[in-house]
Amino acid sequence: MSKVAVITGAGSGLGQATAVRLAKEGVSIVVVDVNEKGGNETVELAKQSGVDSIFVKADVSRPDEVKNYVDQAVDKFGHIDYFFNNAGISGSGKFYLDTNIEEIEKIVGINLLGALYGVHYVAEVMLKNGGGSIVNTASSAGVIGQDSVVTYSATKHGIVGMTKSLVAEYAKDGLRVNAIAPGPTETPMVKKFYDDNPAMKENAVGGIPQKRLGTAEEVAELVTFLLTSPAQYINGEVIRIDGGFTNTK
């Protein structure tokens, strides 16, 4: 019986790259995204590796739609082994007091509440089957403070706290929960953010010791390792993958 992974935000960027990478390991993929075109593209890319894959459209800020993608995963495959809890948005890049309340609510709804809802329903399924492995997407902005991303940073710090606290409660039951903290990475979300705020890209690259952005494929390698690793004692960790960016802060 093949392993099954649910990936949110899988229509592009880190989610899509991880879906493709896991598929090469023979893992069946449940692609979750609000973007139907991107989601179906990821399904086809995963199937090229000979695995089964389905797309479920979902706005992760809505708990009923989160429950639906989990239910559809179980209906199709019967179990969930891996969860890449990845869906997120960045925001406008404005300073906090120039940010409107609607933007704050949207970022919190997708990045933090969506992640909490996802773990709530996925972990419930995993624990019924003896456990599973979860990787949450935090950010360099989840381990240090950065300007122009106050709300985003707050949600990503929340992801770190959620990760560590879930381990405190459920590691004994077979749940592994880790987080990744990517620095600036070449994804559609980051590209749009930097297109809207070009000076911030120059500043970011200048502050990275390796003097380049990361790639989605590099992050996918880390996520795949954390999800599938036989090193079951890795639990509650927040792994930075940022070219040394946060080490200089």
Instruction: Supply the residues annotated as catalytic.
Output: 152
B/e letters for 162-172, b = 16+ CB within 10 Å, e = fewer, are: bbbebbeebee
Tally of CB atoms within 10 A around 109: 17
What distance in Å separates the CA atoms of residue 131 and residue 241, rounded to the nearest whole number? 26
Whole-angstrom CA distances from 115 to 97, 105, 139, 229 are 25, 14, 14, 22
CB 29, CB 220: distance < 8 Å: no
DSSP state of 53: E
What distance in Å separates the CA atoms of residue 88 and residue 7, rounded to the nearest whole number? 12
DSSP letters for 190-227: HHHHHHH-HHHHHHHHHHSTT-S-EEHHHHHHHHHHHH
